[in-house]
Amino acid sequence: MHLRTIKIADLTTPNNVFLAPLAGYTNAVFREMCLSLGAGLTFTEMVSAKGLCYNSKNTEELLYVTPKYSGIKACQLFGADPEYMRRAAESRFVAPFDLIDINMGCPVPKIFNNGEGSALMQDFARASAVIKACKAVGKPVSVKFRIGLNDKNIITADFAKMCEDSGADMITVHGRTRDKIYAGEVNFAEIERAKHAVKIPVIANGGIFCAEDAENLMDKTGADGVMVARGAMYSPWIFAEITGKKVPDKRALIKKQLDDTLALFGERFALVFMRKMAAFYTKGKRGSSALREKLFTCDSIEKLSEMIEETEF
C-alpha cells in the first residue's frame, strides 16, 4: 500500500491508515494501542452532542485521552441540531481535541429514527448546517458518511460535494448503504466518485481485515487513505501489518491492554471489556469456540490474565 501523510486543514497525519470510531470499543486505551501499532489517526467512540451539552457523565468519559497519547486527537460527535453541535464542539470537553469528526453514517435504528447519523444523508440542508456549526468553532472538521440509504438512493458524490462546500476538511466514505449495515460488498465505484467530486482528502472505509484488503481498497477507489473498523477489533496489529511495522508479541500486547484498561477503568469494566476483546482476538483460531465459552465465564482479572498467557493469538 502507498503510505503518505494526509493534510487536514492545518493538521498533518503521519500516515493514511486510520482507526475508525467504534461505539463501545475505541476507548482511550484501545486508541493508544492502535496508535502505537501504526495507526496514523484514531477517533473516539461517537459522542452525543446533546449529552455533552447536558453534562452527561457517561458521555464525558468517552472523551478521555490518556496523558501518554502522542497523536492527533480526534473526537466524533453525532447530532442533528446545529446549535447543540456548535455548543458541544466549543465545550470544555472537546477543547483538548484537534479534529472534530461528524457522524453522518451510523445505521442504528435509534440513531437514525432520531434524525441523526445516516438520517442526515436525506437532508442536505440540515447536514450542511451541522457542518457549518461545527466549523464555526475554528477547528478542522471531517465528516463520515455512507454512499446512501439504499441502492435506490445513492448520493455519494453530491453529498461529498455538499460536505466540502459547507467547510469540511476531510471526508470518510463507508462504501455501503445504510440498509446493508456492515454486510455485503463494498461499492468501490461510489467511493471513487466521491474522490473525483472533491478536492479535500477522501478516506475509504469498509471491508478491511488484512493488509491486502487495504491495498485493494486504495487501488480500486483512488482514495487518499483507508479507515479500519471491525478489522481492528479482531486484530489491532493490522495497523503494523499495513504500515510495515514489526508486529509485536501479541500476547504481551493484549496483557498490556488488560493492565492499562484495569488501571484506567477499574476491575468490573476491564473484565467485561477484555473478555470480549480476547474473544475477538481468537476469532478463526483452532478451538476458538470452546475458548470463547471459557472466556465469557471467566470471573476474575487474574483468571483472565492466565487465559491470555496460555492462548495462541
Q: Which residues are catalytic?
A: 106
Give me 10's grid cell: 492545518
Q: What cell numbers appear for 209 in the block?
A: 481485515
What is the rounded (10 degree) CA torsion for 182, 281, 38, 205? -10
Q: How far apart are CA 108 and CA 213, in angstroms?
A: 25
Residue given cell 449495515 in the structure block:
181
Dmax (CA) for the chain in angstroms is 55
